[in-house]
């Protein structure tokens, strides 16, 4: 009898007369999305008039947008700092402490999603040389000196006096009205050469390089005005509701783009429908284990952005969205937008036209809190991948 390969059975392949355990293949799936499945679920009644919601969204966006004075102040400071840094790239002169390769604007100012009261613009400086702490301090002093030389020909008031502050990411240059955060990075091939005691943190530098990729992607794919409006509103919502705190600016950028542009018509959805869709997707489990989520188009390896959150944070985010979605369905949009009420609607029971909306309960249980003999939670250990929060 000739010994040959044994056909694998349902329980796994036979090895030495023993049946090997079957390894389940993890296949992420997209949660139910009414916008994509609208053809299969025809409406039985006419949709309610969302004119009031649309007006509230536009008003909230206007309230959150920087004023003309703020925009002018930050734009003037960014232009001056950018000009000085560009000159150091092209003609460094006698400045040889470090060599600059490229200067890029990133963040909310570059994308046009800045929120009033946060007049901070981000600029990433890529060094050809290794970013030592001494080199960063020397660059900060050089930029400050060149800025003061430029401003000698201008009428300078007390509000225009510049201050420079060093930090672990680079340095800040600010006046009374605006601030420019200069973030230090280096060439990708230099990252492996960094030493924690001498150079800036490699993890932070990697996030600065990622911020450049994010800005490029945003400029090419998310330039629609409705996306910028939705991002500004979502940033305010995530700031006020604790369950949404783990959502990074990059997650919100991708979420807003998905809610507005990913639909059968490939045309931008109205802002009111997109706003509702965000809560529908999060409540359906878009950012839960097992979900396809949103793939980070700026990173290799098909990384899903929500895996940067812990399992507990994913659960709380979904739970918060489910509660707010029910509030939104019963006309409580003013409480969600911050026009009325407060954030207690997530934690306490509320009544809307006779309908009681109570807060949801968390599902995830930490392993150290499980009782003896209790089965492992479905949410634990589903995802083996992870990603650090990317700085904006």
Q: Where are the domains of the chain?
A: 51-62+224-369, 67-221
In this predicted structure, what is the pLDDT of residue 150?
85
With H, G, I as helix, E, B as strand and everything else as coil, classify residue 163: strand
In this predicted structure, what is the pLDDT of residue 19?
62
The class of domain 51-62+224-369 in CATH terms is mainly alpha
In this predicted structure, what is the pLDDT of residue 301?
82
Mean pLDDT by groups of 10 residues along the chain of 392 residues:
42 52 75 87 74 95 94 93 94 91 95 92 96 94 92 68 91 92 95 92 95 96 95 96 96 97 92 96 94 92 92 96 94 92 88 87 80 49 38 44
**In sequence order, what are the beta bridge partners of 104?**
124
List all residues 6 or more positions away from 261 whose beta carbon is below 8 Å from its beta carbon: 224, 227, 268, 269
pTM above 0.75, yes or no: yes
Strand pairing class (170-174; 179-186): antiparallel
Residue in 97, 183, 200, 92 with CA at minimum distance from that of residue 139:
97
Question: What is 67-221's CATH superfamily?
Answer: Beta Polymerase, domain 2 (3.30.460.10)
Strand pairing class (14-15; 120-127): unpaired
In this predicted structure, what is the pLDDT of residue 366?
82
In this predicted structure, what is the pLDDT of residue 159?
60
Tell me how many degrees the CA angle 93-95-99 measures, rounded to the nearest 5. Answer: 100
What is the phi/psi pair of residue 174, to 5°?
Answer: -145, 160
CA distance 379 to 161: 53
Residue in 67, 117, 106, 362 with CA at minimum distance from that of residue 235:
117
In this predicted structure, what is the pLDDT of residue 70?
92
Q: Say if residues 225 and 270 touch (Cβ distance below 8 Å).
A: no
């Amino acid at each position: 009898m000739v010994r040959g390969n044994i056909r694998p059975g349902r329980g796994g392949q036979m090895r030495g007369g023993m049946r090997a355990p079957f390894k389940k293949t993890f296949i992420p799936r997209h949660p139910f999305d009414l916008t994509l499945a609208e053809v299969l679920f025809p409406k039985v009644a006419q949709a309610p008039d969302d004119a009031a919601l649309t007006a509230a969204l536009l008003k909230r966006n206007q309230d959150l947008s920087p004023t003309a004075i703020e925009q002018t102040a930050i734009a003037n400071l960014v232009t001056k700092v950018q000009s000085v840094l560009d000159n150091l790239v092209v003609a460094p002169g006698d400045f040889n402490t470090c060599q600059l390769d490229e200067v890029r604007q990133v963040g909310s100012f570059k994308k046009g999603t800045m929120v009033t009261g946060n007049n901070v613009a981000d600029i990433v400086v890529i060094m050809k040389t290794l970013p030592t702490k001494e080199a960063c301090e020397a660059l900060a002093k050089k930029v400050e000196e060149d800025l003061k030389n430029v401003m000698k020909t201008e009428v300078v008031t007390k509000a225009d006096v510049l201050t420079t502050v060093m930090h672990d990411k680079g340095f800040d240059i600010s006046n009374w009205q605006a601030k420019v955060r200069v973030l230090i990075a280096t060439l990708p091939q230099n990252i492996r050469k960094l030493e924690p005691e001498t150079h800036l943190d490699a993890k932070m530098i990697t996030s600065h390089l990622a911020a450049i990729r994010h800005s490029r992607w945003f400029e090419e794919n998310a330039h629609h005005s409705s996306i910028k409006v939705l991002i500004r509103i979502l940033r305010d919502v995530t700031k006020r509701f604790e369950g949404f705190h783990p959502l990074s600016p990059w997650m919100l950028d991708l979420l807003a783009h998905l809610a507005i542009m990913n639909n059968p018509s490939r045309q931008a959805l109205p802002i009111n429908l997109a706003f509702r869709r965000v809560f529908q997707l999060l409540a359906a489990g878009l950012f839960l284990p097992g979900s396809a989520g949103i793939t980070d188009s700026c990173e290799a390896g098909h990384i899903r952005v929500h895996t940067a959150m812990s399992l507990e944070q994913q659960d709380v985010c979904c739970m918060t969205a489910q509660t707010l979605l029910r509030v939104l369905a019963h006309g409580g949009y003013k409480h969600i937008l911050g026009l009325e009420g407060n954030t207690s609607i997530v934690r306490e029971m509320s009544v809307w036209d006779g309908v009681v909306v109570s807060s949801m309960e968390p599902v995830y249980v930490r392993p150290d809190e499980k009782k003896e003999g209790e089965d492992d939670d479905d949410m634990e250990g589903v995802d083996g991948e992870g990603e650090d929060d990317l700085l904006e």
